[in-house]
Amino acid sequence: MAISLYLLLTLVSIIFLKLFKHSNSQLPPSPPALPIIGNLHQLGELPHQSLWRLSKKYGPVIFMKLGTVPMIVVSTPDTARQALRVFDLNCCSRPSLAGIPLTNYSFHFYCLWKHNRWVSSGSRKLSYNYKDIAFSPFDDYWKEVRKLSVQELFNIKRVHSIQPIKYEEMRKLMTSFAESASKKSPVNLSEKLLSLTASVVCRASFGVSFQDTVLDSERFNELVPEALEILGSFSASDFYPYVGWILDRFTGLHKRRERSAQDLDAFCEQMIDLHLKKNKEDENEDFVDLLMKLEKEEVVLGQAKFTRNNIKALLINILLAGIDTSAITMTWAMAELSRNPRLMKKVQSEIREKYGDKELISLEETEELEYMKMASRVNVWAIGRDPDAWKDPEEFIPERFMDNNIDVKGQNFELLPFGSGRRICPAVYMGSKMVEFGLANLLNRFDWELPEGMECEDMKMEEAPGLTIYKKHDLLLVPVKR
Ligand code: HEM
């Protein structure tokens, strides 16, 4: 249904193309657009890859129109620096309609002077009308909730204070790997790593284990990826503000969006309920307690009172931004290492020479694991593949980070896994530490083999579409106790 409707729009557009053709020499180069649909027909299932291919043909700054919505795409370290440092103030808001943050770095703009980073109409629903951090426009409210979250949740002290939770969850995971190892059966690392980060983020941020909530087990494994897919999908209401919703009803996106929002709302309600019933003597105040206090005291953040919807928006934000990002990074790193056995051995030797006799490697100890840290660096798609920025960009070569001071904190525009500028991920430390801690322990205690009959060349490395790019095929590996 979706395909035929877009086909119809394409045909209508071609008919009217000549009538409406015009050029604007002030704008950056643009791939040929069609009336009505603009450049929508040039985006495939994986938009970041489509944009990357277009950037190779049309240059590092492209102007595009998605339906009625104009967008600028930047694809090189230098153009990202222009957008995220030189013009960050003009680029750091979010549009109030819809969209997708695409990993080339794409900026939606309303009028010629005002650039915004691109977010989706699913985001309006899932952020209770932009009351979270990630989708809120750049205004006083955003500044205050971001500051609050950094002070209370994402800071270094807090990351270290949740160490016992990490150890406990990691021990559970190790026990389940040991069982699989004794049966020589593969484990689904994509799933296991997702449930590890979910447990840690839920317990550290909300004070409860997700096993005790409506997010339990199977349902959870669907809920977060589904919400992220919706946030990353192209919604017609984004591109055709007054009529797009009709198309979204035909394609089923509207229904999926409503369902996902309801499920997440149920999660938040339960979280708030659990905190209301909490023993008053319990002195461990978590992030949810703090937000509920703001609601009770009718604190004004930005221009308006802090309400129940603000709490829910922030909880969903943490859930969606905090869980899959670290899990997916670990999954891609394990996949790359598994199909490069020489590099796998090198990482393991570094870890085992230092900490081979340890049951668990601590957060502080991972600091010493330079090679492992290099092997776990991810990047935004186009910049990571820019041959002017990186030698042999398509190869997995951890050594590329050796002897240069390129780090992930948004100061080096050739490596931007957490973004840069005012909108840089507020949890850079928390996210990197989760990844390093997880990988170090997985690789220390176990060797990892491909399932029987599988060779390195058989490994599937395709991506699935969405806000965060999952590995399309789950990563199955057999743990071997050493
Ligand atoms: C390896 C792990 C992670 C990666 C790669 C990552 C990456 C990113 C990226 C690329 C952005 C968008 C920056 C932009 O708009 O330019 C972002 C934003 C954000 N991230 Fe992370 N992140 C990670 C972990 C986390 C964790 C653990 C949390 C919370 C528990 C978190 C919370 C957020 C929030 C709230 C935002 C929105 C910031 C804003 O718009 O002001 N992230 N992250």
Domains and CATH numbers, the chain: 146-378+417-481 (1.10.630.10)
Residue 25: the pLDDT is 60
Residue 107 confidence class, pLDDT cut points 50, 70, 90: low
pLDDT at 345 over 50: yes
Atom of ligand 1 nearest to the CA of 416: 10
Question: Would the annotation count 425 as a binding residue?
Answer: yes
CA pair distance 472, 22, nearest whole angstrom: 40
Task: For ligand 1, pick from 156, 329, 425, 439 the residue to mutate: most ligand atoms within 8 Å of CB.
Answer: 425
pLDDT at 281: 66
The pLDDT mean for the chain works out to: 86
- Chain segment 162-200, per-residue pLDDT in tens: 899 999 999 999 999 999 999 999 999 999 999 899 889
> Of all protein residues, whose CA lies closest to atom 16 belonging to ligand 1?
419
DSSP 45-97: SSHHHHHHHHHHHH-SEEEEEETTEEEEEE-SHHHHHIIIIITHHHHSB--SS
The pLDDT score that the predictor gives to residue 208 is: 77
Q: Which atom of ligand 1 is nearest to the CA of 422?
A: 41
Instruction: Determine the residue type at 49.
Output: Q
Mutating to test ligand 1, I would choose from 418, 429, 437 the residue with most ligand atoms within 8 A of its C-beta, which is 418
Q: Is the pLDDT of residue 101 over 50?
A: no
- pLDDT at residue 123 in the model: 74
Atom of ligand 1 nearest to the CA of 329: 1
Using the predicted structure, report yes or no on whether residue 10 has a pLDDT greater than 50: no
pLDDT score, position 214: 62
pLDDT in tens, 50-78: 999 999 999 999 999 988 888 899 999 99
Two structure tokens written together for 22: 């015009």
312 in Cβ contact with 268 (< 8 Å):
yes
**CA 89 – CA 79 distance, rounded (Å):** 15
* Distance between CA atoms of residues 302 and 143, nearest Å: 8
Question: Ligand 1 centre from 327 Cα, in Å?
Answer: 13
285 vs 61 pLDDT, higher one: 61
Give 143-196 as a DSSP string. Answer: HHHHHHHIIIIISHHHHHHTHHHHHHHHHHHHHHHHHHHHHT--EEHHHHHHHH
Query: What pTM value is reported for the model?
Result: 0.89
Q: Choose between 222 and 478: higher pLDDT.
A: 478
